Amino acid sequence: MRGGTRECESPRSGQTALGGTAGAVVIRVYTAQTITMAGNVQNVLEANGIPCVLRNEFLSACFGGLPPIQFGPEVWVANDADAERARQLIAEATKAPAPKTEPWRCRHCGEEVDAIFAQCWHCGARSGLDELLQAY
């Protein structure tokens, strides 16, 4: 019982009926490794008008010898109809940006530097990205 509402585990994995009513089903749409990741997903969903709830945010103390994913923070949507849209938003929000693959040429010494470096390995000059970011 949580907050005066009885939760009953549904036969379908990741669903919980609140108070035994047919229309009040919440669906787990995301399990995070950290509370920060789960909070970010919760913010994205709420900013897009999808009511959701964060669960297991304080269970990290249970990790011990058990797999952390079993106790990771979870985001659940409050409406069954929002589950698919929520998963799409989560996929967009958690997708890693494509890595920059083009090397850049140092403006100071002319050396070609791999894209993963922000500083020239030869002379120590910055890539110029710092100046661009500071301008904004």
CATH label of the domain that carries residue 33: 3.30.70
Q: Which two tokens stand for residue 123?
A: 């002379």
Contact (CB, 8 A) for 47 and 54: no
Residue 82 lies in a domain: yes
Same domain membership, residue 17 and residue 33: yes
pLDDT tens per residue, the chain (136 residues)? Answer: 333 333 333 334 455 554 444 555 789 999 988 889 999 999 999 999 999 999 988 776 666 666 666 778 899 998 889 999 999 999 999 888 777 678 889 998 999 999 888 899 889 988 865 554 455 4
Number of domains in the chain: 2
Same domain membership, residue 127 and residue 74: no
d(CA 100, CA 131): 18
Residue 112 lies in a domain: yes
* Entry pTM: 0.56
